[in-house]
Structure 1
Amino acid sequence: MQKRKLTQVGIIIRKRLIEVGKTQVQLAKEIGTSKIYLNHILHGERSGKKYLAKIFSILGIDPDSVKRTA
């Protein structure tokens, strides 16, 4: 079984979660989805278009900086 890898956006979100001391469960509740769905977004299995702006806002991530690194 192949190990799943985080996308560039997933890496940025995960690092920021650690910096601000939040869990994926907490973030998922704040954006109104499940931890499983959030995990799918971080691994690129779902686009997350509906949630990305809210995730960036909650975590204080500049969306333009994400686009430059993606």
Structure 2
Amino acid sequence: MNKRELTPLGAEVKKRLIDIGMTQGQLAEKIGTSDQYLNLILYGQRSGKKYLSKIMTELGIDPDTIRQPA
């Protein structure tokens, strides 16, 4: 079984959640999606384009600081 890896965005989201003491479930609720769907976004299995700006706004992430895959 392959181990899934967080995308660069996913890693930053996880780090910010820890920094501010918020759970992934709480973030999902705030941006209007399910915890499961948010998880798929963080692991790159869904693009989540509809939610990306909401995630970054909610967590105060600057999109320019996220390393994009080559």
TM-score normalised by L of structure 1: 0.93
Distance in 2 of aligned mates of 1:54 and 1:39: 15
Letter matched to residue 36 of structure 1: Q
Distance in 2 of aligned mates of 1:18 and 1:24: 9
The alignment partner of 1:18 has SS state of: helix
Distance in 2 of aligned mates of 1:40 and 1:57: 19
1:5 maps to which residue?
A: 5
The alignment partner of 1:3 has SS state of: coil
2:55 maps to which residue?
A: 55
Which structure carries more helix by proportion? Answer: 1
Q: Which runs of 5+ in 1 are unaligned?
A: none
What does residue range 18-33 of structure 1 map to in structure 2 within 5 Å?
A: 18-33=18-33
Deviations 1:11-52 (A, max 9, x none): 011101100110000000000000000000000000010001
Letter matched to residue 4 of structure 2: R
State the Cα RMSD in Å. 0.7
Letter matched to residue 65 of structure 1: T
TM-score normalised by L of structure 2: 0.93
Letter matched to residue 2 of structure 1: N
2:17 maps to which residue?
A: 17
Give percent identity, aligned residues only: 60
Distance in 2 of aligned mates of 1:38 and 1:18: 16
